[in-house]
Amino acid sequence: MHHHNNGLKTVMLLGGLWAVLLAIGWVVASGTGSSAFIWIFALIGLASTAYSYWNSDKLALRAMRAIPVTEQQAPGYYRIVRELSQRARQPMPRLYIAPTLSPNAFATGRNPENSAVCVTEGILQMLDERELRGVLGHELMHVYNRDILTSSIAAAVAGVITSAAQFLQFAAIFGGGRGDGRGNPLVGLLMAFLAPVAATMIQLAVSRTREYDADEDGAKLTGDPLALASALHKIELGTSARPLNPADQKLVNTSHLMIANPFRSGGVTGLFRTHPPTADRVARLEGMAGLGRR
């Protein structure tokens, strides 16, 4: 068993996001003499989070042009998900297939009673049944761990930070602060440039942490960590050969939900990855199976 304290990490990372948001509010408040901005930004963050959370399934499925499938159309898919749902004593999610040859999968929905799992045509063609079972176990654990709520909060707050920082940048350049010396335009500019970067890094760190959790919990659910390890290796090769279009902003907004980065990795550094390195994930899964280094 692995214990990475990922739950504590997630709480601390989300706290960091809110701290950045409130810091922007404080900078604006110190420049305007009104603390109302702190509460305004906090309320905007709450409203954005609620909307994103409530509509997460619709937004993600629409971005992938996913199509609902029946048990007659995909009997193996249904059989695996039903078995794993029953094992976890959770309700059966709605099942979808996305019409793309890029191999990937994701789960979405605000709770287990209102959840959906989507796989692509590419992943169904690439993986054998054992590997597909490993992937579906991973995705179901995202739902059971309420990761959609976590990712919705992170994405919404990061988005508000970016918008607030743009406002702060405009105010610092053209407002020049208050005339009483309390407003410092240089501090405002610094916060305006650094806050979105910090927010993005924290959001991506949340995503990577939840992926590790879903790997571990999904492997426990299926009882077969090596199946997921094999699937992740194949998926990485498949997405490199058939990546999704990074110019489609809807796909970019959905990419953090997927089991693997759907775009070509390029030279992206570890801090700006939406997913942990596949080699690290595979090593942890092999460790669960007793094949890792002692």
The whole-angstrom separation of Cα 194 and Cα 202 is 12
Q: Which of 226, 204, 238 is nearest to 102 (CA)?
A: 238
> Cα Rg for the chain, rounded, in angstroms?
21
Amino acid letter, 167: F
| Full strand arrangement of the beta sheet holding 105-111 | 67-68, 94-98, 114-120, 105-111
Helix (H, G, I), strand (E, B) or coil at 81: helix
Task: Assess whether 139 carries a catalytic annotation.
Answer: yes
The whole-angstrom separation of Cα 143 and Cα 114 is 9
DSSP assignment of 185-235? HHHHHHHHHHHHHHHHHHHHHHHHHHHHHHHHHHHHHHT-HHHHHHHHHHH
The whole-angstrom separation of Cα 222 and Cα 216 is 10
| Bridge pairing between strands 67-68 and 105-111 | unpaired
Q: Which of 294, 293, 287 is nearest to 4 (CA)?
A: 287
Q: How far is CA 252 from CA 113, 239, 243, in A?
A: 26, 14, 12
Looking at 139, 211, 216, 236, which residue is catalytic? 139
Could you give the residue numbers annotated as active site? 139
